[in-house]
Amino acid sequence: MILRKSFFIIVVFLLALNSGQAQDVLQPAREHFNKFDDVDGGWCAADGTISYELPDGKTLWLFGDTFVGEKDGEFSIDNSTATFVNNTAILEDNGDLVTYHGGTEENPSAFIPRQGEDWFWPKHMILEGDTLRIFTLKIRKKDDGTPGFNFEVGTAHISSFTYPALEHVRTSRIEQITDTTMRFGTQVLEKDGYVYIYGKKIMSDGNFQWKIPYLARTENSVTGQWEFYAGNGDWSPECDSAAPIGDRPVGETFYVWEEENGFYMLMHETFLVDELVVLKADELTGPFNAYNSGGTENTFAIIEEAGNYNTYNLGGHPQFNENGKLLISFNVNAHDFGSIYQDTRNYRGRFYWCDVEETISVSPPDTVRIFDDFTGTSSNESIERTNQDYFNVFEKRAQLRNLRDDARLNIYGINGQKYLSKEVRNNEIISLSQLPRQLLILELVTDDTVVTRKMMRR
C-alpha cells in the first residue's frame, strides 16, 4: 500500500512538472526565411507577407511597404539605388523568386497602382479563371503627429490582374460593403462550393478603436453577389444585417485553419503586444469568443527580445505544410528605420512551423526568440529595453521604472475600452484596485517607442 501511494505521488509530481513546460508548438522554418535573402528583380525587404498557391503549383507572395533596389552586401541595401514603394509581389516557382512591381527597373513603383495620392496595402487573394482578385485597403496620408503612423486606413477594394501575365486591370471599391467601418479580405477560404471572405469591423470608444471579426461568402466571383453572416446560421445580402462571428478583438490580420475537431483562429495579439493567440470554434462561422465570455482562447507563444522591433500581422501559408504542421509567419519592423539599410532582416517576416491542434492547450506558452543574430539595430538604450523592463506589476498596482523622461500610461480592457490614461514619472506607482477584474493591456508611450504589457487583474 505504501509503495502504491509513493508511486502515485511520483506520477502526479512528474505530470505537474511536465504541465509547467511549454511544448514545441512553434519551430523555426529557417528555409522559408532564408529564401528571401536573394530575390531577383530588386526586392530587398518588406512587411505584409501574404501568400497564395496558384493552380500551376507556383506561389504568389504579396507585400506591403517594400524596399526595392540593389544590395551592396549580403544583407545591406545600396542607399543610392533604393526606392520605397507601397506594395510589391514575388512569384515563387520551384525555388526561384522573382519580383513584380510597377514602373521601370530604374524607377520602380507599386505593383498595385496608386489612385492619386492614395495607395493600397494588399490583403488575401483568389484566382478566378485567368483573373487574379486581390483584396486591398486604400490608404491615405494623415499627419497625426505619430512618426510611422501618419496614415489613415480607408475602405476595402478589389484589384484585378491578368494571370499569368500579372498585368493590372482595375482597382474598384467593393460596393456591397456599405458600412465603411468594415474591412473584408483578411482571408479567403474555399469550402463546400462557397468562397468565404473573412474580415473585421472597426469598433470605437472615444479616440480608441478595436476590431471584431465578421464573415461574408459568395458562390461565384468575389466581384459578384455577396451574403453576409447574420448570426444563428443565417446569411443576408444586406451588409447592415451582418453579425460578428466572435467578440474577441482581433489584429489587422488573422488566419482560420480547419482541423477535424474544429476551426482555429490564429493571430498576433492586438495593441502590438508581442504574443500569439489562438481561438477555437466548432464552425467556420464561430463563435470565436473571448475566454471571459465562454470562448476557447489561449496565448500559445510569447515573442521575447523584441524590444528593438514591432511584431505584427500573423499569416498562414498552407501550401508549404510539412508533417501535419502549418507554416505561419508574422511581420517584423525595426524601430530604427534606418537600420534596415544595414541589415534587411530587420524588416522581414519570420516563419515558423505550427502544430495548430496543440496551440489551444499549451501552457505555459512557447517562447520565440528571433533577433539574437541580427545587427544594425538602434543602440538607443530606451529602445533596447523590452516591455518587461518598464513594468513591475503586482496584483493591485504597477510600478513604472527605467524612464528617462515623463511618459503616458494607457490601460485598456481586452475589449478595447480605455480605463485609464495619465502622465507618469520614473518609479511612480499606479493603483489598479479601481479597475475591473479582467485581462488588462498596459501601454506606455515614450518619446522613443510604445511598449505594452498584459496582466490579469484577479
CATH 2.60.40.3080 fits 385-456, yes or no: yes
> Tell me, which fold does domain 21-379 have in CATH?
Tachylectin-2; Chain A (2.115.10)
pLDDT for residue 11: 36
426 contacts 312 by C-beta, under 8 angstroms: no
Q: What is the pLDDT of residue 144?
A: 54
Strand order, beta sheet including 182-191: 182-191, 194-205, 208-218, 227-231, 234-236
Dump the DSSP string for 160-229: EEETTT--EEEEEE-TT---TTEEEEEEEEEETTEEEEEEEEEEEETTEEEEEEEEEEESS-TTS--EEE
pLDDT of 14 > 90? The answer is: no
Question: Which parts of 69-181 are beta strand (E)?
Answer: 83-85, 88-93, 96-100, 102-103, 108-109, 119-128, 131-141, 151-162, 168-173
* pTM of the shown model: 0.82
Provide the 8-state DSSP code for 365: P
What are the start-end ranges of the H helices in 280-391?
339-342, 356-359, 381-384, 387-390
Amino acid sitting at position 164? P
Assign 193 a pLDDT band (cuts: 50, 70, 90). Answer: very high
Q: What is the pLDDT of residues 221-279, one digit of tens each?
A: 999 999 999 999 999 999 999 999 999 999 999 999 999 999 999 999 987 789 999 99
Q: Where does the pLDDT of residue 23 fall: very low under 50, low under 70, confident under 90, or very high at 90 and above?
A: low
- Note whether 210 and 149 are within 8 A (CB): no
pLDDT at 374: 47
What is the predicted pLDDT for the residue at 450? 79
312, pLDDT greater than 80: yes
Average pLDDT, integer, range 96-121: 96
Tell me the C-alpha distance between 451 and 307, whole Å: 8
The lowest-confidence range among 11-20, 114-123, 422-431 is 11-20
Q: Domain boundaries in the chain?
A: 21-379, 385-456
The candidate with the shortest Cα–Cα distance to 407, out of 387, 436, 434, 393, is: 387
Distance CA 39, CA 67 (A): 12
